């Protein structure tokens, strides 16, 4: 690691806690990871230590165990996994009830469940969302402040930087994460204030257009969706019910909304491998008719893709459409990150499954998609607005 790594790591922690989480005096902090490991990877301990020092408050950590998770999946030990997921959800609920803060440190182990039957992986994620889903619903409705941030670990670096020498991979991952988190800026927190203000300005511009439709057009992709009349474009900048602002994920480059669940028409070619709960699906191609996936294929992970689509009624419909500017630091790397948060903020994307209710100004159950899954699909496609279609 470079000689200034410790200093930049502290700045990384400050960005997460101040620009993202907006941790308040008197709040406790729970650090967890409910997406892949059901706990923070032990190899991210150096990040946790830095966060604890900067937070200067009571901090609890839910640690994960990659080997145990793999055994749950291999052996179909759903009882054991239910006990773990349930206990973790209970801890998160306690913090929410007391108005404390939640930080989700998300790593990536794309090969963790390699060789595990797709049906087992799908069931593992279904159970995880069964317990975390109610927590997530409370969080997006403003129950307390929370944020998701990347946690570089060697296993993630080996997958995303396999083209580099072994000894250089981890440092390379950190460099790209530091850049995406604006740690290298002269005044990182000020840089975040400027960036978040720009995203808000673009969000206001999109809302002023009152777009009836949105079209994605690129190689292998020609998809049109309808936007409900009550749709509103959003950013990751949210506010708790008590009025405390926070940013739900860092980095963030996207502006997003919810399409009408029955509206998607056309084809999609996903531009990046999708890391899903310790497995990878690559080369995804989908066809939509009347809002639903009617054909799906993938070069690798096709069984897992089918399992996701069969999770429930809403898994084969879109819950999100997002616009990402083309020249973000993540986009400029040209890197496939094998990490949902980084890959979705490198390119415009759509998402299968669950929609965010706050993307509608007033409730419209007929338009808003509901599902136990939410899977972001990055696209190498241009955004075509109504009236700007090519002739």
List, for residues 205-215, the tens digit of each pLDDT value: 999 999 999 99
In a domain, 360, yes or no: yes
User: Is the distance from CB of 352 to CB of 318 less than 8 angstroms?
Assistant: yes
In a domain, 234, yes or no: yes
Number of H helices and number of E strands within the chain?
A: 11, 18
- Say if residue 390 is exposed, middle or buried (CB neighbours under 10 Å; 0-12, 13-18, 19+): exposed
In a domain, 224, yes or no: yes
| CATH code for the domain in which residue 71 is found | 3.40.1830.10
Q: Are residues 373 and 232 in the same domain?
A: yes
Q: Which two tokens stand for residue 320?
A: 């999100």
What whole-number distance in Å separates Cα of residue 231 and Cα of residue 220? 27
- pLDDT tens-digit series, residues 126-144: 999 999 999 999 999 999 9
Q: Which two tokens stand for residue 292?
A: 């639903």
**Worst-scoring range by mean pLDDT, 162-166, 219-223, 312-316, 332-336?**
332-336
What whole-number distance in Å separates Cα of residue 120 and Cα of residue 170? 30
3-state SS, one letter per residue, for 306-317: HHHHCCCCCCCC
- pLDDT tens-digit series, residues 341-356: 999 999 999 999 999 9
Q: Are residues 213 and 348 in the same domain?
A: yes
Q: Are residues 137 and 283 in the same domain?
A: no
Question: What average pLDDT does this structure show over 156-184?
Answer: 96
Q: Are residues 10 and 100 in the same domain?
A: yes
* Residues in contact with 324: Cβ distance below 8 Å, sequence separation at least 6, in sequence order: 253, 254, 255, 331, 344, 345, 346, 347, 348, 349
Q: Are residues 142 and 224 in the same domain?
A: no
In a domain, 223, yes or no: yes
Per the rule left: phi > 0, alpha: psi between -120 and 50, beta: everything else, 386 is beta
Q: Per the structure, how many domains does the chain have?
A: 2
Q: Are residues 216 and 334 in the same domain?
A: yes
Q: Is the pLDDT of residue 388 over 80?
A: no
Q: Are residues 144 and 245 in the same domain?
A: no
Q: Is the pLDDT of residue 26 over 50?
A: yes
**Phi, psi of 248, deg, nearest 5:** -70, -25
What whole-number distance in Å separates Cα of residue 345 and Cα of residue 259? 19
Confidence band of 391 (pLDDT split at 50, 70, 90): very low
Boundaries of domain holding 137 = 5-150
**Phi, psi of 107, deg, nearest 5:** -95, -170
In a domain, 179, yes or no: no
Percentage of residues in the chain having pLDDT higher than 90: 93
Q: Is the pLDDT of residue 5 over 80?
A: yes
Average pLDDT for the chain: 95
- pLDDT tens-digit series, residues 273-299: 999 989 999 999 999 999 999 999 999
Q: How far is CA 114 from CA 63, 274, 299, 306, in A?
A: 22, 14, 15, 17
The candidate with the shortest Cα–Cα distance to 137, out of 389, 372, 386, is 372
- pLDDT tens-digit series, residues 360-387: 999 999 999 999 999 999 999 999 988 6
- Sort strands 265-269 and 221-226 into parallel, antiparallel or unpaired: antiparallel
Residue 297: what pLDDT? 98
Q: Is the pLDDT of residue 390 over 60?
A: no
Residue 389: what pLDDT? 61
Across the beta sheet with 254-257, the strand order is: 254-257, 318-324, 349-353, 374-378
What whole-number distance in Å separates Cα of residue 33 and Cα of residue 49? 16
User: Is the distance from CB of 54 to CB of 47 less than 8 angstroms?
Assistant: no
Q: Are residues 287 and 363 in the same domain?
A: yes
In a domain, 195, yes or no: no
Q: Are residues 35 and 117 in the same domain?
A: yes
Q: Are residues 120 and 218 in the same domain?
A: no
User: Is the distance from CB of 224 to CB of 215 less than 8 angstroms?
Assistant: yes
What whole-number distance in Å separates Cα of residue 298 and Cα of residue 284? 4
Question: What average pLDDT does this structure show over 35-52?
Answer: 95
Q: Show which of 150, 170, 185 is a domain's final residue.
A: 150
In a domain, 291, yes or no: yes
Q: Show which of 150, 166, 182 is a domain's final residue.
A: 150
User: Is the distance from CB of 38 to CB of 64 less than 8 angstroms?
Assistant: yes
Q: Are residues 257 and 120 in the same domain?
A: no
Q: Are residues 282 and 213 in the same domain?
A: yes
More confident position, 140 or 331: 140
Element (H, E) at 302: helix 302-309
The candidate with the shortest Cα–Cα distance to 91, out of 59, 65, 123, is 59
In a domain, 101, yes or no: yes
- Say if residue 383 is exposed, middle or buried (CB neighbours under 10 Å; 0-12, 13-18, 19+): middle
Q: Where are the beta strands (DSSP E) in 146-212?
A: 146-150
With 0.85 as the threshold, say if the pTM is over it. yes
Q: Show which of 106, 121, 150 is a domain's final residue.
A: 150
């Amino acid at each position: 690691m470079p000689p200034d790594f410790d200093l930049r790591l502290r700045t990384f922690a400050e960005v997460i806690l101040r620009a993202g989480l907006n941790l308040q005096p008197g709040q406790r902090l729970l650090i967890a990871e409910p997406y892949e490991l059901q706990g923070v990877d032990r190899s991210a301990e150096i990040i946790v230590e830095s966060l604890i020092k900067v937070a200067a408050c009571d901090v609890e950590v839910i640690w994960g165990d990659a080997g145990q998770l793999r055994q749950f999946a291999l052996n179909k030990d759903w009882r054991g996994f239910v006990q773990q997921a349930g206990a973790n959800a209970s801890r998160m609920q306690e913090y929410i009830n007391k108005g404390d803060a939640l930080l989700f440190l998300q790593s990536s182990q794309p090969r963790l469940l390699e060789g595990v039957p797709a049906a087992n992986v799908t069931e593992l994620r279904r159970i995880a969302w069964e317990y975390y889903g109610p927590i997530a619903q409370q969080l997006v409705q403003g129950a307390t402040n929370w944020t998701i941030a990347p946690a570089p670990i060697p296993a993630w670096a080996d997958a995303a930087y396999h083209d580099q020498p072994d000894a250089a991979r981890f440092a390379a991952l950190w460099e790209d994460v530091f850049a995406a988190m604006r740690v290298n800026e002269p005044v990182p927190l000020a840089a975040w204030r400027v960036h978040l203000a720009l995203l808000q300005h673009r969000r206001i511009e999109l809302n002023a257009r009152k777009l009836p439709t949105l079209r994605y057009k690129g190689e292998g992709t020609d998809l049109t969706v309808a936007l409900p009349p009550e749709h509103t474009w959003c950013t990751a900048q949210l506010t708790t019910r008590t009025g405390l602002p926070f940013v739900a994920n860092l980095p963030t480059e996207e502006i997003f909304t919810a399409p009408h669940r029955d509206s998607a028409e056309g084809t999609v070619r996903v531009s990046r491998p999708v890391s899903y709960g310790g497995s990878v699906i690559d080369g995804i191609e989908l066809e939509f008719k009347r809002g639903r996936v009617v054909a799906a294929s993938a070069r690798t992970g096709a069984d897992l893709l089918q399992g996701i689509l069969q999770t429930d009624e809403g898994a084969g419909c879109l819950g999100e459409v997002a616009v990402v500017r083309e020249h973000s630091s993540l986009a400029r790397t040209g890197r496939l990150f094998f990490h949902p948060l980084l890959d979705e903020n490198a390119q415009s994307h759509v998402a299968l499954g669950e929609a965010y209710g706050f993307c509608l100004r007033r409730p419209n159950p007929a338009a808003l998609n509901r599902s136990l899954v939410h899977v972001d699909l990055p696209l190498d496609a241009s955004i075509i607005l109504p009236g700007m279609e090519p002739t």
